Amino acid sequence: MPSSDPRLTLGDIIENVDRILEYTENMDEGAFGADQKTIDATERCLSRISEAAKKLGPEAEVLVPDHPWSDIRGLGNHLRHSYRGIRRSEIWHIIVNDLKPLREGCLAAQLKLESD
């Protein structure tokens, strides 16, 4: 179900990205892979991001284009149902390559919505 206020849902994504970046600050892939608490916390935040993407619905592609929204929505299912098959390197790749651009896009969309 799409969110009635996309600004709040975008804020949820931003907040969870910030948490992950805080949890993994000053870590490399090896340190991340050895820290089960950080892995668990990161996966929980990624699940929240996935749920927020579902709440945005098709509006996500309009508000924040050029992001793989289908993959973001599907990540939650992957984390819940294929948890044994998830490689830590996959999660690390998301942290290093995808989260900052997603945050920037969501923040820009949120600011645009607030100014309209």
Number of domains the chain is built from? 1
Contacts of residue 102, defined as CB under 8 A and 6 or more positions apart, other chains included, come to 13, 17, 49, 64, 67, 72
Question: pLDDT tens digit string along 31-58?
Answer: 999 999 999 999 999 999 999 999 999 9
Task: State both tokens at 97.
Answer: 């390559």
pLDDT of 116 above 90: no
Determine the residue type at 64.
V
Is 95 part of a structural domain of the chain? yes
State the Cα–Cα distance between residues 10 and 52, nearest whole angstrom: 7
* 28 backbone φψ class: left, alpha, beta (φ>0; ψ -120 to 50): beta
Return the higher-pLDDT residue of 102 and 1. 102
Is 97 part of a structural domain of the chain? yes
Find the domain containing 34 and state its range. 6-115
pLDDT of residue 4: 79
pLDDT of residue 83: 64
pLDDT of 70 above 50: yes
Is 14 part of a structural domain of the chain? yes
pLDDT of residue 1: 44
State the Cα–Cα distance between residues 74 and 23, nearest whole angstrom: 23
State the Cα–Cα distance between residues 92 and 94, nearest whole angstrom: 5
Is 1 part of a structural domain of the chain? no
Mean pLDDT (whole number) for 21-35: 97
